[in-house]
A and B are shown apart, each in its own frame.
Chain A
Amino acid sequence: MRRLAASLFILLMACDFSVFAQRRTGPIYRPPSGTGGSRTTRIPRPIPPPRFDPRTRQPIPTRPPVIRRTPSTSTGRVAGGPSSKVTIPPSSSPQVAVAKTQAKATLDQLRTSLRARLRSSTALSSGNVRSPKKPPTGGGGGGRKPPSGGGNNEEPPDRGNGLKNASQGFKEIFDNRSLRNQSIINIRDTLTRNGFKQTITNNRKGYLFKNELGEEIRIMNRGGGWDIRVRNRYGNNLDEFGNVAPPSKTHNIPVRSQ
């Protein structure tokens, strides 16, 4: 019985329990016999090879993995062996920032090309290929536009054809496209600010704004309401959009007294 117990003890002492440790942490380096006794050392995890940008074929800068030396445990199993631990870099790191920038650029390119395709297909299907419209300027006629360059007589397509060579103030009252229901106060402000002189009309039933170029705007009081008549320097009466028009279109353009 004693013999049996002694042999069992010897057998247990000879068993290697390091197999269980290998499952949890990694392979175990065994020094060759006769060099270090029974001590084992953990092999550090391999550092991943550098990644390359597929477009530029330049290596993506990476931070070296953070290696934290774990203190020796009381068990003494890994004492002296370098234990490595690769941590995920935080979102604010340059590596993540580069990746984000690249992804954003790719997404923007895709968006742009998709929009262009969509626009061309829409224009072709409707048979109306137009240049993009100008963004609307501020309302109320208060937004001042930069003065047009001298000698450039070309008007944007959305401008009335009666505004060719017109003065800045004359054009500015058409900034909201139509004169219909515009405020008299705003029109007056725009015109007087741009050098128009205000007087009373010949029939004393309205206000006349005139400048030295011969441009003429009349705001007439008829039947309890106000309407506007606009005449450019060539003597053409204009419609509410600034186009040279027949008499029916140049009359009865109401404006607001407030």
Chain B
Amino acid sequence: MKSANAYGIIEQLSKYHHFEECIIEEISWLNFGIAIEVRLNYIWQANGTLRQNLDEPEIVILRFNLVQEFHMINALNAAKCESPELINWGVNEIASVKYIENSEYIKKYKNLPVSFHHISFLWERGSNQKLDVVFSELEIETLK
């Protein structure tokens, strides 16, 4: 499902439970860098409860088209820098995916023929770890 307006994007995100506590499995660059795919291990069932077989990934792909900006902050602390071999999938478990309204990032793209949006992959409060994408179109697909 593709969405190019704010309402559609927010609706899609809520349909997917805002990807709360889902795990980023992979990030890919597509179309010479103007598209980005984020693959998430989706942990929720349709009724809003956790899946029973969490060790078997259920991949949901978020494909961002016409990407203007992509910001990644890992905010590695001292422990992670000293022992990077101990880092595992837990680092990639996000708190939620949030649509940022009236973002400062998109003001500079107001004059362009397409509208742009800002989505943040957020980690828990107190963590500076963050992923920001400024894009024009979002496509969400569940891998069967």
A interface with B by C-beta (< 8 Å): 165, 197, 199-203, 208, 210, 213-214, 216, 218, 222-223, 229, 231, 233-237, 244, 246-248, 250-252
Contacts and interface: CB of A to CB of B under 8 A. Distances in A.
A223 B45 CA distance: 13
B43 A247 contact: yes
A234 B96 contact: no
B64 to A, nearest CB: 21
B54 A246 contact: yes
Given A202-B125, A237-B90, 5 more contacts: A214-B77, A235-B80, A235-B87, A235-B90, A246-B55
Given A208-B126, A213-B79, A214-B79, A203 B55 contact: no
A231 B90 contact: yes
Contacts of A248: 53-55
Contacts of A203: 18, 20, 95-96
B34 interface: no
A199 B126 contact: yes
Nearest to A202: B95
Contacts of B18: 203
A79 B89 CA distance: 106
A233 to B, nearest CB: 4
Contacts of B69: none
Given A203-B20, A247-B23, A234 B86 contact: yes
B54 A234 contact: no
11 contacts: A202-B125, A203-B18, A222-B49, A222-B50, A229-B21, A234-B80, A234-B87, A246-B89, A247-B54, A248-B55, A250-B90
Contacts of B96: 202-203
Interface string B56-80: 0000000000000000000001011
Contact of A237 (B77, B79, B93, B122): B93
4 closest Cβ pairs, A-B complex: A235-B91, A202-B95, A237-B90, A248-B54
Contacts of B125: 199-202, 208, 210
Interface residues of B, number: 31
Given A216-B124, A234-B86, A235-B88, A201 B95 contact: yes
A172 to B, nearest CB: 19
B41 interface: yes
A202 B127 CA distance: 11
B111 interface: no
Contacts of A235: 80, 87-88, 90-91
A85 B19 CA distance: 99
A201 B124 contact: yes
A164 B23 CA distance: 24
B55 A218 contact: no
Nearest to B122: A202
A195 to B, nearest CB: 13
Contacts of B41: 247
Contact of B124 (A208, A247, A251, A252): A208
B83 interface: yes
Nearest to B85: A234
Contacts of B90: 231, 234-237, 244, 250
A29 B44 CA distance: 111
B10 to A, nearest CB: 15
B122 to A, nearest CB: 6
Nearest to B93: A237
A234 B53 CA distance: 25
Interface in B77-135: 77, 79-80, 83, 86-91, 93, 95-96, 122-127
Interface core residue of A210, A218, A231, A247 (most chain B CB under 10 Å): A247
Contact of A236 (B49, B53, B86, B122): B86
